[in-house]
Amino acid sequence: MAGELDGTVALVTGASSGIGQASARILASRGASVSLVARRVDRLDALAREIDGDGGRALAIQADVTDQEQAIGAVQRTVGELERLDIVVNNAGVMLLGPLLDAPTQEWDRMIALNLGGLLYVAHASLPHLLAAAEQEPRRVADLVNISSVAGRVARLGSGVYNLTKHGVGAFSESARQEFARGHVRVSVVEPGAVDTELPTHLRESVREQMMKRFEGIEILHPEDIADAIAYIVTRPRRVAINELLVRPTEQTG
């Protein structure tokens, strides 16, 4: 059966775990060749083997996207080896929560460097290729999907700098959407609620305990639920742009 994304190439950052890994799998299953970008290359190699084994095509690229040269290199290698770039899922991110007072400011630096800097470097390097793909068959449209968060819509006590970065992703995405609309590059922002991934494992112990309490007894999302939303966005007809998707667990109130 022909896949909806046959003949396209997708690059996914943060493909070594969580939402990125699930997104790469679903895009490959719809026919896209996928470029898998993250730092843990053993994980990327395993995922690439799995996708290849399932009849897809995947390329594992080790890169730290907070380094602009590595971000550019990942995009260039994708286009060099897979020959085009139709879809970018700008997903790599880190969430380091806690009170502002006495916060280790290296945590702020890490969030700003990755959630904003990395996302911008990948977007900047990708856009010329996305514009080119948007003029070509099979789709004559291209997609830049930026992963924000509920934290990009609602600011919460103890989440200030993460909120800052994710609100920034929303603002950047809307401005970019306007700039590239006529070029048929759709810029979308996805705002997940709580998803069962490695994200909270980077939190300091005391902060993690508090966060776990917040979601105690709630059935949180699976990475595949967000991957499904991303697949929905990138498989719409050329005339349809899903600008923003907010996806919470049913029981999540805030």
Ligand X SMILES: NC(=O)c1ccc[n+]([C@@H]2O[C@H](COP(=O)([O-])OP(=O)(O)OC[C@H]3O[C@@H](n4cnc5c(N)ncnc54)[C@H](OP(=O)(O)O)[C@@H]3O)[C@@H](O)[C@H]2O)c1
The binding site for ligand X (CB under 6 A) comprises 13-14, 16-20, 38-40, 64-66, 91-95, 114, 118, 147, 149, 192, 194-195, 197-199
Inter-residue contact 75 to 61 (CB < 8 Å)? no
Residue 208 C-beta: closest distance to ligand X, Å: 13
Structural element, H or E, at residue 81:
helix 68-82
Q: Which is nearer to ligand X, 98 or 118 (CB)?
A: 118
Q: Which is nearer to ligand X, 9 or 194 (CB)?
A: 194
Rg, the chain, Cα only: 17
Quote the CA–CA distance of 141 and 13 in Å, as a whole number: 20
Residue 148 C-beta: closest distance to ligand X, Å: 7
Quote the CA–CA distance of 120 and 117 in Å, as a whole number: 5
Q: Give the torsion sign (CA, 95, 99, 100, 106).
A: negative
Inter-residue contact 30 to 231 (CB < 8 Å)? yes
Nearest alpha-carbon partner for 125 in 40, 51, 35? 35
Q: Which is nearer to ligand X, 103 or 132 (CB)?
A: 103
Inter-residue contact 111 to 95 (CB < 8 Å)? yes
Q: What CA dihedral angle connects 9, 14, 16 and 19, to 10 degrees?
A: -90
Q: Of the residues 162, 180, 195, 226, which is catalytic?
A: 162
Quote the CA–CA distance of 127 and 233 in Å, as a whole number: 18
In this structure, what token pair is assigned to residue 239?
């005339």
Q: Which is nearer to ligand X, 85 or 94 (CB)?
A: 94
Residue 241 C-beta: closest distance to ligand X, Å: 21
Residue 56 C-beta: closest distance to ligand X, Å: 19
Specify the 3-state DSSP secondary structure of 19: helix
Q: Is 162 a catalytic residue?
A: yes
Residue 160 C-beta: closest distance to ligand X, Å: 15
Q: Which is nearer to ligand X, 8 or 16 (CB)?
A: 16
Question: Which residues does the annotation mark as catalytic?
Answer: 162
